[in-house]
Amino acid sequence: MKRIWLVWLLMLVGATTQATERFLLQANPGQYQALTQVLQHHGVKPALALPAHEAAAVYLTPADVAALRGHPALRWLETDVKRYPMSLPQQAPYGIGLVQADVAHLGSNFDSASGNLLVCIIDSGYDLTHEDLPSATVQGVSDPGGAGDWFVDDLHHGTHVAGTLAALDNSVGVLGILPGGQVGLGIVKVFDGDGWAYSSSLIAALDACRQLQAGRRLVVNMSLGGILSSRTEDRAFADAYKAGVLLVAAAGNDGSSRKSYPASYASVISVAALDEAKQIASFSQHNSAVELAAPGVGVLSSVPVGTALLGELNQGGHLYKALPMEGSPLASRTGSLVDCGQATTPCLAAGQADGGQGGLCLIARGSISFADKVLNCQAGGGRGAIIYNNVDGDLNGTLAGVVTQIPSVGIRQLDGLSLLAVVGQSAQLAVTQGDYAYYDGTSMATPHVAGVAALIWSRHLGCSNAEIRTALGSSALDLGDLGRDSFFGYGLVQAKAADDLLSADCGAGAGGDGGSGGSGGGKGRNKP
């Protein structure tokens, strides 16, 4: 016994210069104090003592480990393995692949020349402190009329747009169309928290973008609009287009055929919104000015730090896409799943679950408001509400100002049906704060097109703005009616197809110079 101790002590002293690693030591019953006293006497201090478990975490060298394995008080020794937050790693939102703006389509370093471009975002500002957004290549112009500093985004809108355009490839958050951190960003703030500005402010913002241009190619993103046109505004955009600026704007979210401006000016590319299945969004405006379509439903991107509500739903290790109900309190709950039907009355079964501790209400959409469903879950004793859709697609709901005490989320119909099959089993539900959020709108589709335009232009700097515009239309994936139509325009914008088209000649696929009604592309011949 003494020989074992002596060998161990000599090895311990001789190993002080060796690299250490963290281990968990489990003592034999009743031997915890004996083991820790020896460690302490010879300078090995526990990193974390766990006396209730007769265990301790310590840093040991390889020699320590070899000697300690023979210790009579030691039951076992194992690596103190690491645990990580169960947050999602960096991901590419579905729209990046859908518009072919990724490594799989364009190869590595595909945006390495984007420093020759300035993408100017006329919007509500930009969170300069966000971990996933560039800072070194960003310039901004504040609104002297009252919207405030460009690096503050009270509306959250501009930061979301910027993330789709340029979120960094940095292992966190999301990826943008131009993720290399090279592209210049110009931020011109026109909106404050109230979310509106005058036509004159938009004209001044366009002028500010041109002042920031500094000899670079300029793409202007305008995820904004209104139903009335302005002759002065029209002329300003026409002049900028003639001067070589490429202009991109949102078609509008009325779900009607009414035109929106500046998108419907002839000098501007009007962008409609579609979903992950390439179906037109129900809210997307449709008219003769629509030129291109891009992802605009459930788009994940950056928002000002700490301003997003994030939903998390885990059942049996499977993570479901859960969108928090607008107005949901922040909370984390674990409980058995309980089928509450449509929860048109208090769900008493939820309160009886888990020995009266309360389960998680699984609720079908329909009949009554989301807020009433959540209140009926709460009244029955439920600890959290999971509302599943009654149609395909995400469920992005609101409590409409009704105060509730339990977390609530919306999920897809298929996910709800899947969870119905495991009612009675445990699940984890949480609504937390975060830096990323899912938004809907032609506002979200617009930066996909502006980003692709900038990306392709950076790879073909000899092309004019009109030639880039033409190529985007000619190479678009034709959806809906054959050829250009009022819903999709020429179709879904495609970076790889446009790049291939322009690799031969900037004039390849030319189909006009912009013309009336925003025509700027060919026939959209890339029919699936």
Binned at pLDDT 50, 70 and 90, residue 52 comes out as confident
For 418-438, write each residue's pLDDT tens digit. 999 999 999 999 999 989 988
Q: How many CA atoms lie within 13 A of 315 on its CB side?
A: 22
Angle between helices 465-474 and 495-504 (to 10 degrees): 120
Q: Which CATH class is domain 94-302+440-518?
A: alpha beta
Residue 281 token pair: 């969004």
DSSP 17-52: TS--EEEEEEEPTT-HHHHHHHHHHTT---SEEEGG
* Active-site entry in 71, 130, 156, 157: 157
**Beta strand segments in 290-383, E:** 290-295, 299-302, 308-315, 318-324, 331-339, 360-364
Query: Does the pLDDT of residue 3 top 60, yes or no?
Result: no
Q: Is the peptide bond before 262 cis (omega within 30 degrees of 0)?
A: yes
Query: Does the pLDDT of residue 39 top 90, yes or no?
Result: no
Global pTM value: 0.76
Query: Does the pLDDT of residue 84 top 60, yes or no?
Result: no
**Closest among 170, 150, 292, 277 to 212, alpha carbons compared:** 150
**Fold match flag (2-79 vs 308-434):** no
Bridge partners (DSSP) listed for residue 363: 387
* Active-site entry in 443, 458, 474, 519: 443
* Active-site entry in 102, 111, 123, 154: 123
Tell me the CA end-to-end span of the chain in Å, nearest whole number: 79
For 5-19, write each residue's pLDDT tens digit. 333 333 333 333 456
Q: Taking a C-beta distance cutoff of 8 angstroms, is the pair 165, 447 a contact? A: yes
CATH 3.40.50.1000 fits 308-434, yes or no: no
Q: What is the mean pLDDT of the chain?
A: 88
Query: Does the pLDDT of residue 517 top 60, yes or no?
Result: no
Q: Taking a C-beta distance cutoff of 8 angstroms, is the pair 225, 261 a contact? A: yes
Q: Which CATH class is domain 2-79?
A: alpha beta
- What are the boundaries of each domain within the chain? 2-79, 94-302+440-518, 308-434
- CB-count exposure of residue 98 (10 Å: 0-12, 13-18, 19+): buried
Active-site annotation holds for 443: yes
For 396-413, write each residue's pLDDT tens digit. 899 999 999 999 999 999
| Contacts with 235 (C-beta within 8 Å, 6 or more apart), sequence order | none
Active-site annotation holds for 157: yes
Residue whose token pair is 């119905």: 420
